[in-house]
Amino acid sequence: MRLSRYYLPTLKESPAEAQIASHKLMLRAGMVRQQGAGIYAWLPFGHRLLKKIEQIVREEQDRAGAVELLMPTIQQAELWRESGRYDAYGKEMLRITDRADREMLFGPTNEEMITEIFRAGVRSYKDLPQLLYHIQWKFRDEIRPRFGVMRGREFLMKDSYSFDIDADAARRSYQRMFAAYLRTFARMGLTSIPMRADTGPIGGDLSHEFIVLAETGESAVFCDRQLLDLEVPGADLDFQGDLSPIMDRYTSYYAATEEKHDPAEFEARVIEGDRIAARGIEVGHIFFFGDKYSTPMNAVVAGPDGKDIAVQMGSYGVGVSRLAGALIEAFHDDAGCKWPISVAPYHVGVVSLKAGDEAVEAACQKAYDGLHSAGIDVLYDDTKARPGEKFARMDLIGLPFQLIIGPRGLADGKVEVKRRADGERWDMSLEQALDFISAEVKAGLAA
Ligand code: ATP
Ligand code: MG
């Protein structure tokens, strides 16, 4: 992509309405534009980030054996009356009426709808387990939308739903999602900590929140430092195998949000040097809730003896749009964003130091074409802005690599490569630079 043809409305100053780094930087780097309280338009650069996050979430769901579908944002109130949640959900639900005065709502979650879809198509225990997911916009009329996309009213969520014949099988589905979540966040460069949680309005028996540590996080968290060093399951993990050891290992360490925190237990279970009392961002939340929806909504299958059994269900959410903010909280400095390669909207920024100079333009074009054909996402700053302005903008948008090409360097057969993560710089030939960047990006994507 050529920057001269792109829409990247960057800002030099932090807008006054933003309190935390991620919100400031998302506005400054031209990623989002507010359209109402807790409602954001995703501008081209932010949209690419969102798509990269979404794709990692999708790949890990697919790997875990979940099957993607897409449910609508608008739902019928009738469905929610079946579960009893239409009245219970309260003011967070955005209620709408259509022209025929039918009561509708903008879905805050999809347990009812997926249960309806399941019961329409599955009749026998032989068709279980089922694990379905979608990635769709939700609306919750939060009392206090804040911190930009971190607590929006309209936000993008991945939500999965499992259907099993009994509680043991449901637990296995839960463990699959537990392991998939560890991998999902690790691929984004984030260390996530699963914490026992309350089940809230979703209801049920077993629940974990996945928290990433950040100073500006909304949740107070207490945990054992050793949790941060556990090895995350690799890409070769067999999701059909026994995943209970993974969950057992993680849950054997102390980890609690404020509500569940017990200072006495914390002291008894964690040696002083390993006690972490910090703040974190909830990026995922998984629930096992048995027959809470299947019984009232009559989602039953015929068991081996022919008798109907209400299925055991779980639901599993990832805050896809919240992750955009969480990633910036984790990866930024005073100058701007510092994207991990796996989620970077573009991997490389090619910076022309002299637009209009024939040799510089030819070298930039060669770099652009070479990287692009190697499958690398390139943003080419071909604008006429001053070099200082270009450098500041590149640092602000935080692409993992900058390839800086100017007339003086070219005369010596050199270009400059800068790695945004640590600021390291190298002078090398253009060919070497292309090989180096390609190798680094491929290694980053494979990690
Ligand atoms: P929270 O406790 O942060 O209000 P929740 O427990 O109500 O979230 P869930 O129903 O568990 O949320 O939703 C699954 C995931 O969706 C959460 O873990 C979070 O990452 C994300 N999420 C929930 N509410 C919002 C929101 N208002 N804005 C952005 N993301 C959200
Ligand atoms: Mg939650």
Angle value at C-alpha 43, between 71 and 332, nearest 5 degrees? 105
Q: At 423, which amino acid appears? A: G
Domain 348-446 CATH (choose: 3.40.50.300, 1.10.579.10, 3.40.50.10860, 3.40.50.800):
3.40.50.800
- Architecture of domain 3-337 in this structure: 2-Layer Sandwich (3.30)
Sheet of strand 94-97, all strands in order from the earlier edge strand to the far edge: 74-76, 103-106, 94-97
- Ligand 1 contact, 237 CB (< 6 A): no
Predicted local confidence at residue 198, as pLDDT: 73
Return the SS3 of 436: helix
Coil, strand or helix at 216: coil
> What is residue 388's predicted lDDT score, i.e. its pLDDT?
97
Rounded Cα distance, 34 and 55, in Å: 24
CA pair distance 6, 179, nearest whole angstrom: 39
Please check whether residue 3 is in contact with residue 383, taking contact to mean a CB–CB distance below 8 angstroms.
yes
Could you tell me if the CB of 166 is within 6 A of ligand 1? no
pLDDT digits (tens, 9 = 90+) for 199-240: 666 556 799 999 999 988 999 999 999 999 999 999 999 999
pLDDT of residue 223: 97
Please give all residues whose CB falls under 5 A of ion ligand 2, grouped by chain where several chains appear: 285
User: Tokens in use for 439?
Assistant: 């190798």
CA of 316 to the centre of ligand 2 (A): 10
Identify which of 287, 73, 55 has the alpha carbon closest to the alpha carbon of residue 162.
Answer: 287
Cβ atoms of 185 and 208 within 8 Å: the answer is no
145 CA: nearest ligand 1 atom = 27
- pLDDT at residue 291, as a whole number: 95
- Evaluate: CB of 204 within 6 angstroms of ligand 1: no
C-alpha–C-alpha distance, residues 198 and 207, integer Å: 6
Nearest listed ligand to the Cα of residue 316 = 1
Q: How many angstroms does the Cα of residue 11 sit away from the middle of ligand 1?
A: 29
Tens-of-pLDDT digits for all 447 residues of the chain? 999 999 999 999 999 999 999 999 999 999 999 999 999 999 999 999 999 999 999 999 999 999 999 999 999 999 999 999 999 999 999 999 999 999 999 999 999 999 999 999 999 999 999 999 999 999 999 999 999 999 999 999 999 999 999 999 999 999 999 999 999 999 999 999 999 887 666 556 799 999 999 988 999 999 999 999 999 999 999 999 999 999 999 999 999 999 889 999 999 999 999 999 999 999 999 999 999 999 999 999 999 999 999 999 999 999 999 999 999 999 999 999 999 999 999 999 999 999 999 999 999 999 999 999 999 999 999 999 999 999 999 999 999 999 999 999 999 999 999 999 999 999 999 999 999 999 999 999 998
In contact, 245 and 179? CB cutoff 8 Å? no
Which residue type is seen at 188? M
pLDDT tens per residue across span 353-393? 999 999 999 999 999 999 999 999 999 999 999 999 999 99
Mutation pick for ligand 1 pocket among 156, 207, 322 (CB with most ligand atoms within 8 Å): 322
Token pair in block for residue 162: 């499992």
Query: From the CA of 224, how far away is ligand 2's center (Å)?
Result: 21
pLDDT at position 200 is 64
Q: Which helix or strand (DSSP H or E) is residue 193 part of?
A: strand 192-196
**∠ CA 300-199-201 to the nearest 5 degrees?**
75
Amino acid at 262: D
191 CA distance to ligand 2 centroid (A)?
Answer: 18
Biggest alpha carbon–alpha carbon distance for the chain:
82
Give the residue whose CA is nearest to atom 12 of ligand 1.
285
Polymer length in residues for the chain: 447
Whole-number CA gyration radius for the chain: 24
How do strand 348-352 and strand 378-381 relate by DSSP bridges?
A: parallel
Sequence spans of domains, the chain:
3-337, 348-446
Q: What is the pLDDT of residue 197?
A: 85
Nearest Cα to Cα of residue 108 among 38, 36, 198, 61 = 38
